[in-house]
Amino acid sequence: MTTQKGSSQPAESDPPPNTTRHRPTTMREVAEAAAVSVATVSLVVNNKKDARIGADTRKRVRDAIRVLGYRPNALAKNLVSGSSRFIGLVADAIATTPFAGQIIRGAQDEAWKHGYVLLIANTEGNEPAEKEAISMMLEHKVRGILYSTWYHRVAQVPAALNETDFVLVNCFARDSDAWAVVPDEVQGGRAATEILIRHGHRRIAFLNTTTPSPARDGRLQGYREALESAGIPFDPNLVFDAYPDQEGGYAAVEGLVQCGVTAVFCHNDRVAMGVYDGLRQVGMSIPEDIAVVGFDNQEVIAAHLRPPLSTVALPHYRLGAAGVRLLLGLDEAPGNGVLRIVCPVVERDSVSTRQEKAPANM
């Protein structure tokens, strides 16, 4: 990290802007420096293994490329090979959520590993923008397209995607055999509930979202499965609907307190943050009076609540990486085309403080 002391303002220098741009080195200049033909340079640059060029000549060309700082034209290379080293990534909301960034990072790291570059387009869910983005990618002869959404949902697959290979990331298509990579919501819901069961809780509320979604259905199913495995009967009165943000969590606290639970699994970390505020309001402590588990492991929230929130992370980085691996044929899709990625548990202090308290001396 670059830091600085004193004045933060850049030097107020004279006008002339960034006009010192170097002229790029040409293939001809490389050829002259290496005393070979332009055709020979081209063969070396394009790594034609079968071209009859001596090791000596090859080395001379490589040295000249290095010394002169020659950059081969990737566009020309792509044109010769008939396809590009691009993978397209269409995202519906890079801007409004930190989650999309992790999908991009996972996809990019995996793409680079295999010599591909991402062409990213952010559409903000706008249909004309989406159409334009996919056209742009097809015109650039992408190897394929990842079509991603910022929250796990059913997607309407744009028709133009069928013109290339594609993988849906964080979404899936109904009545279609399109490949998709999604978080395993059922396993995540089960894992969240199991944290609470493991700490001795048996009366556990679930604040589920009001928004119909795979997350809503899957996490509820996971909650029920965890209870069942632990021999705890499912009580529908302990499942509450809460709008999936802080205000929703806050509003649900009254119901929580009335039904006398000792623990609550919140649909997401924002809801948990609202529950924190509501419990404080009525003088209840976390985890002593009520243990809380969230979902998402949201960067700026989860670790910074008081106490820090135990939660289940959405595996966005892995979703992006797995999407690229499916697209490039490095991994196989399961039979039904939908690959589910595990949501890992992140334990902090909202279920029990890390140093177990001595039960006397309280």
DSSP track, 203-257: SEEEEEESS-SHHHHHHHHHHHHHHHHTTPPP-GGGEEEE-SSHHHHHHHHHHHH
Nearer residue to its own copies within complex by CB, 160 or 230: 160
Q: Tokens 């939908």: give the residue.
A: 338
Report the nearest approach of its own copies to the CB of residue 102 (Å): 5
Shortest Cβ 202–its own copies spacing (Å): 27
Question: DSSP characters for 66-80?
Answer: HHHT----HHHHHHH
Closest by CA to 305, choosing from 341, 266, 332, is 266
In Å, how far are 88, 149, 154 from 301, measured between CA atoms? Answer: 31, 22, 27
Residue number, 63 or 163, with CB nearest to its own copies? 163
Decide whether 84 or 350 has the Cβ nearer to its own copies: 84
Q: Nearer Cβ to its own copies, position 197 or 321?
A: 321
Nearest CA to 89 among 59, 49, 130, 32? 130
Instruction: Look at the alpha carbons of 75, 80, 86, 90 in this order and tell me if their dihedral is positive or negative.
Output: positive
CB of 55 to its own copies, least distance (A): 25
Our CB check for its own copies shows the closer of 1 and 55 to be 1
Residue 235 CB, shortest distance to its own copies, in Å, is 22
Q: How far is the CB of 289 from its own copies (least distance, A)?
A: 16
Instruction: Pick the closest to residue 265 from 242, 247, 285 (CA basis).
Output: 242
Nearer to its own copies, 42 or 108 (CB): 108
Q: How far is the CB of 92 from its own copies (least distance, A)?
A: 10
